[in-house]
A and B are shown apart, each in its own frame.
Chain A
Amino acid sequence: MNEYVLEMKGITKTFPGVIALDNVSFGVKKGEVHALVGENGAGKSTLMKILNGVIKANSGEMYLDGTKTNISGVNDAQDKGLSIIFQEFNLINTLSVAENIFLGGLNRPKIVDWRNMRIKAQGLLKSLGFSFDVRRVVGELSTAEKQLVEIAKALSFNSKIIVMDEPTSSLTKSEEKMLFKIIKELKAKGVTIIYISHKLEEIFEICDTVTVLRDGKVIDVNPVSAITKDMIIEKMVGRTVDVEYPKRTILPGEKVMEVKNLYRTKILKNISFDLRKGEILGIAGLVGSGRTELAEAIFGAERFDKGNIKINGKVIKLRSTRDGKANSIGMVTEDRKETGLVLDFSVTNNITITNLNNVTSQRILNSRKEKDVAKRFIEELKIKTPSHKQEVVNLSGGNQQKVVLAKWLFSNADILILDEPTRGIDVGAKYEIYCLMNKLVAEGKSIIMISSELPEVLGMSDRILVMHEGEIKGELLGESASGEDVMQMIIN
């Protein structure tokens, strides 16, 4: 067990203006679950991309089972038993489970033996302790099931080392449990797992060893049993940080928004609530409970069949997101790549789009004003980027998330809907975002926060609406509510 199955030595990787990895050495023992943690932009994903041949290091060496190896590309990595499960899956939604498992890679067979393929796929899933119809189309699967398919795919290459990059960031609690069970099973089979996550509690649940990266350097390697969460955080950030939820002193004021009997067939059932000035209203519920749909209806992105929304006492028309914006509503969407950003546009262009009038002079876009705005937010949110002109595609996941936040902060909306605002954001930055939310409400703005992370909702909200199957099951006070209270309401 003490053998290193994988060793990366002296890995250095630079991008224009960025040293992503600086002489990193990283070793993983056979059959362990090895956590890789670090702040946003620390270099975790980059290191794993190098391991899997997606990109090449400037310098450094790699050893598999003690022999020096060169990985020439993704296929080569697969041949050598390395695979990676992307945070956004690499599956084809219109194909079946079996096809995805066996036809996804470039090394697909020339002639397909469908029967055999199905049997094999079924076998792989069974080996993970699951059985569902492999003829089902992947698009219909839940996130967790898709992840399962990804894992089965990795196993179909006989992977010895599987990298999971933030696998739980869009899983529900119960799905998370299922994933952990699979990880334990893989481990029992002798598969080695490298596990990246910003949810540090998970590390204590399933990992054996933890490597901390900071600014592209390895800061520390420790067995999980010899370290605490606070120690990990301190090593990640380089100082002690608050992980409590920051307190607010101001109290919510008058009603700014009243939602009455919002109804949309099969999706929203007579939703009524109001939102006050300076309030953070949390919406808790399971994934699929209709929270995002509710938010989209309020923002004007989705229609509703019945009901109305009043802002400052007046019923508003909401035919499009433009109307939402015109009524000073903004929405940070949950999926930054699909709906939040144009990946190949610069940080600047992504931020200013919500309020172009503010960066014009005589209705002509003024690039100096745009630059100033971008620089202000880069500083304020500590967005890690070599320049405001950098395409957001080149930013790390968490820093992209900050750009989405910046974009809506710049819109200067009075009512901000935040759908999973801290997804993929590191612990330190999370605290900063919480402080920012407090600052916004102190300025008289109102926030509706949707989050699957219950502690976050409990810790930040004045009031919490509990949603389930398109319905509001009840309301709790943020101060006194507990996680059990929320779950109780969902069950009832």
Chain B
Amino acid sequence: MLKIQDIKGKYIANVLRSYGVLIALIIIIIITSIIETNFFTIGNFINIIRQVSIIGIVACGMTFVIISGAFDLSVGSIVSLSGVVAISTINNGGGEALAIIYALLIGVSVGFVNGILISLINGKMGEAFIITYGTQTVVAALALFASGGLFVAGRIKPGIYKSIGKGIVPIVIFIVIAIGMQFILTKTKFGRQMCFIGGNIEAAKMSGIRVVANRTAYFMISGLLAGFAGIVLTSRVISSNPAGGMGFELDAIAAVVVGGTSLLGGNGSIVKTVLGAIILGVMRNALNVLNITAYPQMMVTGVIIILSVSLDILNRKAKEKELANEKL
């Protein structure tokens, strides 16, 4: 017998599942605004989104990979290496265009290696984890090698490269990329096939989808965006750091998961990821404004990630129960 309470409980659970992130964001904003008056200002928000945009770009690529049922841990080191190579290209007189091309090429190539390895062995989450962890390590080492392990100040003249990281340009780039990718995800054959592959890879294969090629493409897109994030990052700080992108992969995954895209694959949204990235940014900023130092900040971030993953797992359990019922 259905009880009103059950219905209410379900309704609340549903609302929380669908809009939990947004609600959390609003709560953080309200509390911090009450405590600190200079938090709720347009200037501060632009600042936050600018800080978020680099991780956000990486997270958009990560979303594709996660929807297709995998993981990409290599993006952080791609950011580092592409930044190092771009800056040294410019410093050595190679020109901005070449610097950008090299950075993007690095991203695409690493993505290609990830993708082809994982898709050829028909790898799932676990294999993707191991393989991209491997490439992460290799690429990180390459970044150290290429830079001799040093910070390098960029001798960048005013121009395209310099303007990429300036003012609201990163924000605009981030938004354009996000809109484009959301469009690809929901409105194109490529996006639909991606969801299908993440939903049931065997069924995708037997539906005539080129699974290997498509999966490789998702990793290439993820790598490409990471390479691009390396450009934005170095352009902003006008220097390169061989460990500049360290930990970005986790922040990106956090943004995806906090946004509410399931690690189960098959479903997800770039819009959610953007929200997830912003929420993490707002939270960090709020902690800053509240004068909470870096280490507790890390702890809070960690707890939030664990909470979102747990929520995802709870959802997954509920889903599995449904699927189990279906077995009858």
CA distance A472 to B203 in the complex (A): 28
Question: Is B123 positioned at the interface, with any CB of A under 8 Å from its CB?
Answer: no
A353 CB-CB contact with B under 8 Å:
yes
| B188 interface neighbour in A84, A341, A344, A363, Cβ under 8 Å | A363
Q: Which residues of B contact A48 (CB under 8 A)?
A: 328
B211 to chain A: which residues have CB within 8 Å? 320
Q: Least Cβ distance of B3 to chain A in Å?
A: 11
Q: Once the chains are docked, how many angstroms separate the CA of A49 from the CA of B325? A: 8
A356 contacts B by Cβ under 8 Å:
yes
**Chain B residue at smallest Cβ distance from A354:** B207
Contact A340 B192, beta carbon cutoff 8 Å: no
In whole angstroms, what is the CA distance A87 to B212 when docked? 32
Report yes or no: A393 in contact with B322, Cβ–Cβ below 8 A: yes
Determine if B206 and A345 form an interchain contact, defined as CB atoms under 8 angstroms apart.
no
Kindly state whether residue A45 has any CB partner on chain B within 8 Å.
yes
The reply on A301 being an interface residue by CB < 8 A is: yes
Q: Which B residue's beta carbon lies closest to that of A357? A: B189
Closest CB-CB distance, B264 to chain A, in whole Å? 9
Q: Is the CB of A339 within 8 A of B206?
A: yes
Q: Type the 1/0 row for B194-232, where 1 means its CB is closer than 8 Å to any CB of A.
A: 011001101111111111100000000000000000000
Task: Determine which of A301, A322, A365 lies in contact with B210 in the assembled complex, contact meaning CB atoms within 8 Å.
Answer: A322
A90: contacting residue among B2, B189, B204, B327, CB under 8 A: B327
A157: interface (CB < 8 Å):
no
> In the complex, which residues 50-105 of chain A have their Cβ closer than 8 Å to any Cβ of chain B?
54-56, 58-59, 84, 86-88, 90
Q: B42 within 8 Å of A by Cβ?
A: no
A237-262: CB near B (< 8 Å → 1, else 0) gives: 00000000000000000000000000
**Shortest CB distance A332–B (Å):** 9
Query: Is B4 interfacial (CB 8 A cutoff)?
Result: no
B323 touches A338 (CB 8 A): no
Q: Give the shortest distance, in Å, between A229 (CB) and chain B (any CB).
A: 25
CA of A299 to CA of B206 in the docked complex: distance in angstroms? 9
Q: Is the CB of A360 within 8 A of B189?
A: yes
B residues within 8 A CB of A349? Answer: 192, 195-196
CB distance from B157 to the nearest CB of A (A): 41
Query: Does B10 count as interface, using CB distance less than 8 angstroms?
Result: no
The answer to whether B196 touches A345, judged by C-beta atoms less than 8 angstroms apart, is: yes
The reply on A111 being an interface residue by CB < 8 A is: no
Q: Which single member of A54, A56, A321, A363 contacts B208 (CB below 8 Å)?
A: A321
Q: Give Cα distance in the complex from A342 to B192, angstroms.
A: 12
With contacts A338-B202, A345-B195, A353-B207 taken as known, whether A58 is within 8 angstroms of B1 at the C-beta atoms is: yes
Report Cα–Cα, A117/B260, bound state, in Å: 44
* CB closest residue in chain B, given A74: B324
Chain A residues lying within 8 Å of B199, measured Cβ to Cβ, are 342-345
Q: How far apart sit A58 and B1, CA to CA, in the bound complex (Å)?
A: 4
Pairwise interchain contact A343-B327, C-beta atoms closer than 8 A: no
Chain A residues close to B by CB (< 8 Å): 45, 48-49, 54-56, 58-59, 84, 86-88, 90, 165, 299, 301, 320-322, 324-325, 330-331, 333, 337-345, 349, 353-354, 356-357, 360, 363-365, 393-394, 407, 411
Q: 14 pairs across A/B with beta carbons < 8 Å?
A: A54-B328, A55-B325, A58-B1, A59-B1, A88-B327, A321-B205, A338-B202, A340-B203, A341-B203, A342-B195, A345-B199, A349-B196, A353-B193, A365-B192
**What are the 5 tightest A-B residue pairs by CB atom distance, in nearest-first order?**
A325-B208, A342-B199, A356-B189, A342-B200, A86-B327
